Amino acid sequence: MSVDTMCRSEVASMKITFKLFASLTDYLPSAARGDNRIELEVAPDASISQIIEPFGLPPRLVHLVLVNGHYITPEQRLSRTLAEGDVLAIWPPIAGG
C-alpha cells in the first residue's frame, strides 16, 4: 500500500506538498529524497498528525512544523487540517554554534 493510498479518503482527496528537511529526508521514499519533497493526496479532514503518521517519523524529531511558512504548535497538529495546494514542511531539532 502506498503512502498516497493510506492518506486518501474514499470520498474526496486533495493535493498537498510534503517536505522533510535535514535528517528527516531519510523518511521520504527514495525517489523523493533528492529534492526533499513529495506530492501527496490526502483527505480534506486529515490532521497534520494523520498525514505524517504513515512516514514513521519519531515524535522527538518532529520539531518545527510549518504550513505555508507559518509555525504550527504541537497542540494544533492533532486537529489542524490543510487546504488544496498547501505545503507542509517539517524540520528536526537543529543544533548549531
For CA atoms 65, 67, 73, 76, the dihedral sign is negative
Residues near 97 by beta carbon (within 8 Å), at least 6 away in sequence: none
Q: How far apart are CA 27 and CA 58, in angstroms?
A: 10
pTM: 0.85
Amino acid 3: pLDDT: 53
Amino acid 11: pLDDT: 56
Q: How far apart are CA 89 and CA 45, in angstroms?
A: 18
Q: How far apart are CA 68 and CA 77, in angstroms?
A: 14
Mean pLDDT by 10 residues, the chain (97 residues): 48 91 95 94 96 95 97 96 98 81
Q: How far apart are CA 59 and CA 92, in angstroms?
A: 10
